[in-house]
Structure 1
Amino acid sequence: MRASILATLLLSSLPALLPVAAQALDARAQRGATIARTHCARCHAVGRVGGSPLAEAPPFRLLHRRYPVSDLGEALAEGITTGHPTMPEFRLDPDEAQALIAYLATLER
């Protein structure tokens, strides 16, 4: 019985332990994951685990603790700028912004 309980606990926690890419993402969120890996992973941790390569860059899985990621669409489309010089300004088209937001939302779970 103990083995059964342990197996159940391990299987139920498995999705949280797997990288997001290994889990099923809808097409929009998958596109957002690709955008994050392509444009953001140089500085930010873009998955469910790990630290950011650049210490000042917050991991994407924690962004929802700072502000609702659903509100980032306009900022992503108009160009993100920050107060530190290492963050490049970049712009996404509205579809790309919504895809990245869909991906960020998967990290909240």
Structure 2
Amino acid sequence: MPHLGKFSSAICLAAAALAASAALAAPVHRPDATAGRALAERWCVGCHVVGPGQQRAASDAPTFAALAARDGDIAAAWLAFRLLKPHPQMPQLALSRDEAADLAAYFASLRK
């Protein structure tokens, strides 16, 4: 029985090492402003002017350019948190971390 304890410890260590190497091998998402613009055009264009080609929106919601200028460097974490508790006029929208990063990259591109 004493060997069973050493054996299970070795298995746990091997499993932890395998999990750590898998996590290191996982691809890292690079924020993509083009994908963020596509998200904005799909979900936000009804109320916000999301891009330079759009003349007006169906509401008086601020334009994305105005939001980018007003809120500074919009980080993906801030944006995802902000959309968890939207104001009453906004629909409930749950973004993945990658989508939030893409949308934040799009906001950053509007500040340039």
Answer yes or no: same fold by TM over 0.5. yes
| Aligned counterpart, 1:30 | 34
- TM (norm. structure 1) is 0.62
Residue 96 of structure 1 aligns to which amino acid in structure 2?
E
* Whole-Å separation in 2 of the counterparts to 1:48 and 1:80: 27
2:102 paired residue number? 99
The number of equivalent residue pairs is 80
Q: Does the C-alpha gap of structure 1 residues 58 and 107 become closer, same or farther in structure 2, counting only changes over 3 Å?
A: same
Runs of 4+ in 1 over 6 A off after TM superposition: none
3-state SS of 1:86 partner: coil
Alignment match of 2:80 (pick from 61, 77, 80): 77
Q: Cα–Cα, structure 1 residues 80 and 52, in superposed 2: closer, same or farther, change >3 Å?
A: farther
Structure 1's unaligned 5+ residue stretches are 1-26
Calculate the TM-score normalised by the size of structure 2: 0.61
Deviations 1:66-103 (A, max 9, x none): 212423x2343341411xx3211211011000000111
RMSD (Å), alpha carbons: 2.2
- What are structure 2's unaligned runs of at least 5 residues? 1-30
CA distance in 2 between counterparts of 1:80 and 1:105 reads: 22
Provide the identity percentage: 34
| Residues 69 and 89 of structure 1: CA distance in aligned 2, closer, same or farther (over 3 Å) | farther
Q: CA deviation at 1:104?
A: 1.1
What is the distance in 2 between the residues matched to 1:95 and 1:80?
Answer: 19
Amino acid at match of 1:31: A
Q: Which has the larger radius of gyration?
A: 2
Distance in 2 separating the partners of 1:69 and 1:41: 21
